[in-house]
């Protein structure tokens, strides 16, 4: 029977990029039903497991997302179910989520039970983090895609989050003027940027979660209006955007007229990543 280290060396050589060793360990751990840290305790791998591992490495080398192969993605303190049909949550979104967590905790410390809405929830990553980290908050989330909803239902089971299938434009009309925080990671890639999007993203993440009109801001304009009717005066909006949109997104919220203190923020890599604003 093959040894794990031999399999890992071969797999790393077949994969590309600086993350190849880590991806090989993740795939082997998945096949063995262990964590990557537990691989050091494995002496041998069965022929069947080695064959399955090799097949997964081939798929990863061909560009299939690692998270689709394992069926899970990690976001802040949560492990989420993901796969074809849902946008895989990215680490850069964690900073914006942390900003929202801080805002909700501030309200809790004042004796409030804050209300937050996650629009375009996708896998439910953001609102799941809010539920885990601010259990006193009242949370709502919506998603338009039927495929993505299936993952969100799974990921939000038992959290108490009010999850509905709805469009960004008209979601949660019953909450108008009562929400403390709206957070959203909308689609924001311009249609004209199709060719520049990496094949792994373009071919595997759902188009609904990626592209948003000629300039990438169609959904952002809708968000500015929807959040304006949901959020109470002084409430917070947080929205992720593309690195190159740090000026144009600010202009969207300023032009809408309902927002003040419109500020752009960087992610952990120092790149412009999300905007916040306060309801007038």
CATH at residue 114: 3.40.50.150
- The number of distinct structural domains making up the chain is 2
- Does residue 264 share a domain with residue 125? yes
Inform me whether the pLDDT recorded for 1 exceeds 80: no
Q: Do the domain assignments include residue 203?
A: yes
Confirm whether 122 is domain-assigned: yes
Which are the contacts of 174, defined by CB distance < 8 A and separation ≥ 6?
Answer: none
pLDDT at 193: 75
Torsion over CA: 87, 90, 95, 98 (sign): positive
Whether 175 maps to a domain, the answer reads yes
Quote the domain boundaries for residue 187.
Answer: 77-279
Note whether 261 and 227 are same-domain residues. Answer: yes
- Structure confidence at residue 204 as a pLDDT band (50, 70, 90): confident
- Residue 31 CB-density burial (10 A; 0-12 exposed, 13-18 middle, 19+ buried): buried
266, β-bridge pairs: 272
Q: Are residues 34 and 98 part of one domain? A: no
Mean pLDDT over residues 234-258, rounded? 97
pLDDT in tens, 165-201: 999 999 999 999 999 999 999 999 998 777 778 888 8
Res 230: pLDDT: 98
Shared domain check, 190 and 148: yes
Among the three residues 15, 33, 62, which one is the final residue of a domain in this structure? 62
d(CA 186, CA 28): 34
In this structure, are 103 and 51 located in the same domain? no
Q: Is residue 49 part of a domain?
A: yes
Task: Note the pLDDT tens digit of each residue in 218-234.
Answer: 999 999 999 999 999 99
Residue 268: pLDDT over 80? yes
Q: Give yes or no: residues 29 and 121 share one domain.
A: no
Q: Cα(8)–Cα(207) distance, rounded to whole angstroms?
A: 34
In a domain, 222, yes or no: yes
Query: What's the pLDDT tens digit per position in 30-76?
Result: 999 999 999 999 988 999 999 999 999 999 999 999 999 999 999 99
More confident residue, 108 or 16: 108
Both 53 and 176 in a single domain?
no
51 with 104, same domain: the answer is: no
216 and 89 in one domain? yes
Give the distance, in angstroms, between the CA of residue 6 and the centroid of all CA atoms in the same chain: 34
CA-CA distance, 33 to 54, in Å (whole number)?
16
Percent pLDDT > 90 in the chain is: 90
The pTM score is 0.94
Domain stop point among 62, 93, 110: 62
Q: In this structure, are 141 and 234 located in the same domain?
A: yes
């Amino acid at each position: 029977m093959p040894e794990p280290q031999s399999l890992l060396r071969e797999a790393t050589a077949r994969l590309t990029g600086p993350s190849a060793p880590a991806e090989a360990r993740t795939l082997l751990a998945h096949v063995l039903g262990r964590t990557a840290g537990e691989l050091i305790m494995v002496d041998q791998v069965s022929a069947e497991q080695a064959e399955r591992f090799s097949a997964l490495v081939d798929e990863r080398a061909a560009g299939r997302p690692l998270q689709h192969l394992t069926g899970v993605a990690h976001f802040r303190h949560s492990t989420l179910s993901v796969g074809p049909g849902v946008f895989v949550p990215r680490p850069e979104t964690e900073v914006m989520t942390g900003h929202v967590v801080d805002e909700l905790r501030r309200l809790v410390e004042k004796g409030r039970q804050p209300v937050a809405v996650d629009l375009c929830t996708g896998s439910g990553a953001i609102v799941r983090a809010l539920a885990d980290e601010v259990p006193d908050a009242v949370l709502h989330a919506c998603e338009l895609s039927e495929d993505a909803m299936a993952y969100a239902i799974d990921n939000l089971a038992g959290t108490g989050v009010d999850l509905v299938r709805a469009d960004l434009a008209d979601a949660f009309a019953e909450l108008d003027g009562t929400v403390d925080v709206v957070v959203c990671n909308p689609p924001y890639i311009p249609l004209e940027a199709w060719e520049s999007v990496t094949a792994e993203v373009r071919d595997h993440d759902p188009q609904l979660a990626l592209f948003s009109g000629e300039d990438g801001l169609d959904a952002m304009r809708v968000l500015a209006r929807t959040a304006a009717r949901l959020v109470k005066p002084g409430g917070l909006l947080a929205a992720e955007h593309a690195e190159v949109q740090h000026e144009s997104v600010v202009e969207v919220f300023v032009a809408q007229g309902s927002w003040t203190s419109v500020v752009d923020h960087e992610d952990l890599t120092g790149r412009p990543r999300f905007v916040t604003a306060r309801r007038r």
